[in-house]
Every structure is written in structure tokens, then in C-alpha cells.
Chains A and B, each alone.
Chain A
Amino acid sequence: MKCEECQPRIEEYLDRELNESAGHAVRKHLDNCVSCATVARDLEAEHAIYASYEPDLNISPELWAGVKARIVEDRVGSPSARVQSVWSVLKTTFEAPRISGWATAALVFLAIGSTAIFMKYTQSGTQPPTPQNTNVVENKPVQVPAMPITNSPVGVNDTSETSKGSGSKAQRKLVVARNNGAEKVRPAVGPRTPYQLVREAEQKYLAAIAMLSRNANRKRSQMDPATLARLDQAINSIDRTIAGTRQAVRQHPDDPVAVQYMLSAYARKVDVLREIAAN
């Protein structure tokens, strides 16, 4: 092997990229050629310098937390997550025999919240705000998915103005009544749609959170700063989750996973506020 053949191959040789016979030929030439051996030695010295370079990069726990949060967001919005219907998720969440621990706690608060709101408005002679009233604001007809609705979920119907309907078929629409130019939406007689149930549950969580927040605010001055900071951090994190999941639910109202994440985020906030209020 001549020098002009060897030198272009020295890098490959040192990188261990040459096959056995080519590597042997280069090695043999380097043993007998001072100038090529010098080139090889300089390259090896460079390699040694680069090998000593290793930036001190540690993987912080926040890095995985960030990846995980975004994966969860993706799952909420993914089409494959919408296989299950909203109705079945709501049934799973609210049906008594299958109720889970957090759902039980949530329902307790829902009941407290609903009762408190009802009492407050009864005493003041005003009608309680209902999910149907919320729908008035949006003024959008809501469609029932094409599936039979058989059971009303526990803890959802207690403050509703909607009477239990005779019809259980699909494609029920809200009837829009117009009275002297003032728009008012009245629901059609019949069971509520999954969309309405979600809105009701959300309204109740919001009411419970508002009440607990007032209690928690009164307790804040009595708490030590470290605990307060920790709880505030938790609440901020939950608020971000709520905002994200609410947006996902608004974009994909028929996505049961999005609904589940949103409701569980609300439940977590209730738990944290309850912890503050209990201190």
C-alpha cells in the first residue's frame, strides 16, 4: 500500500470501519511509514481529547414529567381514545355499583354543592342555576347520540328541571322558544344528553370549588408558608390541567377520555381545597 492510498483510510481505520483485510493493509503500512504513522498518531491524540469531553448533563425529573404530561394530553385528544362512548363513561363514573373511591368523594361534594346551591337560591327566592340555563347562553341545539338511554346517573338529576322523559330514543333536540325577542332555550321533555350531563357535573364541581375556595381562603393566614406554597403549587398545576382538559372537551365533546380527565382534574382540585379548608 502506498501513502496516498493509506492516508485517506486512516480515519476509517481508527474508527474501526474497515473490513479485516483493508484494516490489516493499513496497519501494515503504518508500521513501516513514519509520515503516515504520525498522521495516525495525531488523529488518535485528537480522539483522546474528544473522549475527555463529556458535558455534565443530568436528566431532571421535570423532563419526564413534561413528556408524560404531553403524552397524557395526546391520549385525551387521540381518535383511538374515543372508542368508548361518553354515555358509557358517565355510567361507569356515576353508577353506584361501580363507583370508585375518588368518584365517591366527588359525588359527596357534588351532593353538598348541589344542596348548598339549592338552599341558597330557595332562601333568596331565586331559581337555582341549572345546566339547562347554561345551555341557554350557548343557544346551541344539543343532539343525543344514537343510542338508547336507560338509566339516569346517580347524583346528577337532583337539581335538574328536566323531567324524566317518556322518550328514550335518539336524536332528541332542545326546543328553542322565543318570547318577545328574548331568547330562551327549554329542553325537550326526556332524559338529558351525555353533553348535558357533563355540563351539569362540571357546574356542580365549579360550585363546590367556589364554596371550598372561600373556606380555604379564610384558612390561608393560619397555615405555614411552606405548606401553603406546596398547596398553591398543586392548585396551579391542577388549574392548568383543568384548562387543558376543558379545551380538549370543548374540541371533542364526544370524547369520553377527555371528559374523564376533566372531571378527575376537578375532583383533585376539590380534594386539595378540602385539605386546605380542613387545616
Chain B
Amino acid sequence: MIDRLALGVDGLKNLDGPQPGVVMNSSEDLIARACSGDQEAYRLLFERHARPVLGFLYNLVGRRDVAEELTQETFVRAYRSLSEFRNQAKFSTWLFGIARNVSREWSRSKEGRDPGRVTQIDLISTPVASESPAEELLGKELHGLIESALQLLDEERRAVFALKVFQQRSYQEIVDITGFSLAKVKIELHRARAEMRQHLRPYLETKI
């Protein structure tokens, strides 16, 4: 029942007037319920936010197994600190902030500092809408290149780039997530784009 209500939220977004099911499962309501120990409410929050958090962490660490482990850690930490969450920020922004801290800790760990880890990037198959097998192959190659290039960026730069380009976060949200100044966000993003362009140049020259 609750699942159906949650799944129905998107479909009801455009309807006018308050929708009981939506109100029941608004993020604020779910957070309040989760704070009071309602695990089902927290599961619904997890279902809503797990995919982008996993994607962001995968952008940061480049390994699916590690990204999943860090996603789990992120949601456990978020649960522990749920009572400290203030509704001034978006829940997803707050969650991404935790995810970034978790990933930084991992980066400083022995496993995260392994210099060979860049070569361990999982080249996750990406569904590519292409017209021919050759294009599909090119698309897969490109995705591998993007993932490799991303891992070559400095950690802060990679976080800013991933948040803007892959997670479509606004500059202000990136400021909130990373704690950087707005100026630093702009500079890091500009430099990240330039570095990515360098790494992807052979491909970009054929496409652009």
C-alpha cells in the first residue's frame, strides 16, 4: 500500500490540490516518521534517493562494489543524524553532503589511496541508443573514457564536476554539498571541464 502511494507520487505531481497519498509520503513527512523510528518511512526515503547517491558515489570512486558499500554507509549515517536534519536544505542535498564525506574518508583509506585503483574502474555497460554496432562500440568506448578521465581529476574537482554535469545540481547546491565558496565551485568546474576535454580530445574531435 505504502509502496503504491510512493510510486504514485510522480504521477500525481501535476494534479491540482492536495493529494492525501502525496501528503502522507512527502519527504518532510517521511523524515519525521523515520525520526520517530518508522523503518518503512526510511525505506521509502532510501528508494527515492538511493539511485542518485549511488550514481554520485560511482562517479567519485569509479568502482561499483565500493560505490555500493559507500551508499550503504551514507544511508546508515544519514539515519543516525536524521534528527539533526533541518528542512532549510533539500534532503537530497544533505544526503549528497554525507555521501561526499563518506567518499573522502574512503579516498584517504588504504584501499582508496591504492595508486592502481584508476585501472580498476568498472566499465559498467551503459545502454547506448545508437544506430549501428559501430556507434554502439564507440559509445561504450566513450563511456569508458569518461569514467577513466573522471578518475584522473583531483578529488575536489571530480566532486564538483560530477555534481554539476552528471547530477545536475545548481552551483548553490554544490556549495551546500561541498562547503566550497561559490567562486571555488566555478573555478573547479571550469578547470574540470578543461581537463576532461583534454582527456577526451581524440573522441571530441571526431564528434564535434
Contacts and interface: CB of A to CB of B under 8 A. Distances in A.
Contacts of B170: 17
Interface in A5-30: 11-12, 15, 17
For chain A, the bracket of interface size reads 20 to 34
Nearest to B54: A57
B43 A64 contact: yes
A49 interface: yes
Contacts of A50: 146, 165-166
Interface in A62-104: 63-64, 66-68, 70-71, 74-75
Given A15-B164, A55-B126, A70-B72, A64 B54 contact: no
A63 B39 CA distance: 15
B72 A63 contact: yes
Interface in B157-208: 164-166, 170-171, 186, 189-190, 193, 196-197, 200, 203-204, 207-208
A66 B72 contact: yes
A75 B58 CA distance: 29
A20 to B, nearest CB: 16
A81 B43 CA distance: 20
A93 to B, nearest CB: 20
A35 to B, nearest CB: 15
Given A17-B171, A52-B128, A63-B68, A68 B39 contact: yes
Interface string A215-241: 000000000000000000000000000
Given A12-B186, A57-B67, A71 B208 contact: no
A224 B27 CA distance: 46
Nearest to A45: B208
Interface in B126-147: 126-128, 139, 142-143, 146-147
Q: Is the interface of A mostly helix, strand, loop or mixed?
A: helix
A70 B166 CA distance: 29
A47 B197 CA distance: 11
Given A15-B171, A70-B76, A57 B64 contact: yes
A59 B50 contact: yes
A50 B207 CA distance: 13
A64 B46 contact: yes
Nearest to A55: B124
B171 A46 contact: no
B146 A53 contact: yes
B51 A59 contact: yes
Nearest to B165: A50
B42 interface: yes
Contacts of A46: 193, 196-197, 204, 208
B125 interface: yes
A158 B153 CA distance: 69
B204 A74 contact: no
Interface in B9-53: 37, 39, 42-43, 46-47, 50-51
Nearest to B51: A59
Given A42-B208, A59-B51, A54 B39 contact: no
A124 interface: no
B94 interface: no
A123 interface: no
Contacts of A279: none
Nearest to B69: A66
A60 interface: yes
B79 interface: yes
15 contacts: A11-B186, A42-B208, A49-B203, A50-B166, A52-B128, A52-B142, A53-B126, A53-B146, A55-B147, A57-B54, A57-B58, A63-B72, A64-B47, A67-B75, A75-B37
Give 6 nearest A-B pairs by CB, closest first. A55-B124, A67-B75, A45-B208, A70-B76, A66-B72, A59-B50
Interface of B: 37, 39, 42-43, 46-47, 50-51, 54-55, 58, 64, 67-68, 71-72, 75-76, 79-80, 124-128, 139, 142-143, 146-147, 164-166, 170-171, 186, 189-190, 193, 196-197, 200, 203-204, 207-208
Given A54-B127, A71-B76, 12 more contacts: A45-B207, A46-B197, A49-B203, A50-B166, A52-B139, A52-B142, A57-B54, A57-B124, A59-B47, A67-B72, A71-B42, A74-B79
